[in-house]
Amino acid sequence: MKEQLEQIRLQALTAMDEAKDAAELDALRVRFLGKKGELTAVLKQMGKLSAEERPIMGQAANAVRAALEEKLEQRKTELQAAALEAQLKAEKLDVTIPGTPVATGYKHPMTKALDEATDIFVSMGFTIVEGPEVELADYNFTKLNTEEGHPARDRSDTFYITEDDSVLLRTQTSPMQIRVMEQMKPPIRIIAPGRVFRKDEVDATHSPMFHQIEGLVVDEGITMGDLKGTLEMLVKKLYGEDSVIRLRPHHFPFTEPSCEVDIQCFKCHGEGCSTCKGEGWIELLGAGMVHPKVLRNCGVDPDEYSGFAFGFGLERLAMGRFKISDLRLIFENDIRFLEQF
C-alpha cells in the first residue's frame, strides 16, 4: 500500500508539472484527489489494515494528499501567470504603427478664390454684404437705369419667376448697389459676393449659374482714379506685384463713364499666347462711375456724392488663379479634381 501511495505521489506530481493549462490541471485534480480518484481508492482499502498499520498509512496518505494539494495550488498560480503573460503579449499595442488616415475635406477652389478676394477687400476697409438670389426686376434692372424694353431684360437671357416678369433670378450682383444705397448713408465701401443666373448653355466658359463679386464705393470726391487704384491693388495682390491692368471704354446702363478692365496675360506678358487667345490681355471685369440717375434712384445726391462700382466673375478669377481650363470642372464635384487644391 505504501508503494501504491508513493506511485500515486510521483505520477501525480509529474503529471501536474507537465499540465499545460487550467483545464488539464483540474482533470488531474479529479483523477487523483476526486471522490472516485486514485488516492481515495487507496484510502478505501484502509479498513483491511491492522490497527497498528492504519494510523501509519493514514499519515502517509495525508502527507501525499497535502503534497498534491500544494502542487496543485502552485501550478495553478503558475499557469494563471503564464496565461496572463500570453494575453498581454497578444494584445500588445504598437503605438509606433502609423494610424489609419482620416480623410479630411478640402476647401473648394471657388471658396479659396472667394476667401482670397474678400481678404484683400477687407484689408482695404470694405464690408461684405449679401443679398437675395431671387430678386425684383426693379432692383436687378429698373433702378439700375435698365428700363423696360432694354435687351438685357429679354426673356431669352433671364430666368423670370413670375408671369409678369417682376421677380427673377438675379442676372448680376449689381442690384446689391441699390439695396445697399437704400439702407446706408455714404461713406459706403462694400463688396457683395453671390450667385447670379443667366440663360446660357453650358460649355467650357459658360454656365447658367455662376458667381460674381460686386463692389461699391460712394463718398465725397470719389473719382475714376480711386477705381483704378483699388482694382490695381486687387490684381497685384491676387496675381503678383508685376501685374498690369488696362481700362477699356465700355457701356453699362448704370455707370457713366463705364469701362472693362483687362489684365495683361500673366503667361505671355502681352505677347499673345493660347491662354489669352493671342490677345495679350484677359478681360477681368466691368466697372465704372455710378450713374447719377442710379444715385438719385436711391436718394443719394449726385451733386454731393460720387461713387464707383465694379463687378467680376469669381469663376474666371478662380480659373486664372488655379490654372483651371474648363469651367465645368468647378461644378462637377469630382474628388480627383477637388483634391488638387
Q: Rule CB under 6 A: is residue 193 a binding residue for ligand PHE?
A: no
- The stretch near ligand PHE (CB under 6 A) out of 59-67, 130-138, 218-226, 286-294 is 286-294
Complex with ligand PHE: residue 26 or 232, whichever CB lies closer: 232
Q: How far apart are the first and last CA of the chain?
A: 91
Complex with ligand PHE: residue 25 or 309, whichever CB lies closer: 309
The correct pick among 172, 264, 297, 306 for binding ligand PHE (CB under 6 A) is: 172
- The stretch near ligand PHE (CB under 6 A) out of 14-22, 39-47, 69-77, 285-293 is 285-293
- The stretch near ligand PHE (CB under 6 A) out of 134-142, 160-168, 183-191, 306-314 is 306-314
Q: Where are the alpha helices (DSSP H) in 37-189?
A: 38-43, 53-90, 109-123, 137-140, 175-183
Question: What residue number has its CB nearest to ligand PHE?
Answer: 311
The correct pick among 43, 287, 295, 324 for binding ligand PHE (CB under 6 A) is: 287
Beta carbons within 8 Å of 136's beta carbon, 6+ residues apart:
166, 167, 168, 175
d(CA 296, CA 321): 38
Q: Rule CB under 6 A: is residue 310 a binding residue for ligand PHE?
A: yes
Q: Least separation, in Å, of the C-beta of 287 and ligand PHE?
A: 5
d(CA 151, CA 157): 9
d(CA 9, CA 25): 15
Among all chains, which residue has been given the C-alpha cell 495683361?
264
Q: Rule CB under 6 A: is residue 309 a binding residue for ligand PHE?
A: yes
Q: Rule CB under 6 A: is residue 207 a binding residue for ligand PHE?
A: no
- What mask, x for binding ligand PHE by CB under 6 A, covers residues 224 to 263? ----------------------------x--x--------
**Helix 224-239 with 314-322: angle, nearest 10 deg:** 40
HSE, CB side, 13 Å, CA atoms: give it for residue 115. Answer: 6
> How far from 132 is each of 159, 199, 207, 212, CA to CA, in Å?
15, 18, 19, 13
- The stretch near ligand PHE (CB under 6 A) out of 59-67, 229-237, 303-311, 317-325 is 303-311
Pairing type for strands 127-128 and 188-197 reads parallel
Binding site for ligand PHE (CB under 6 A): 172, 174, 252, 255, 286-288, 309-311
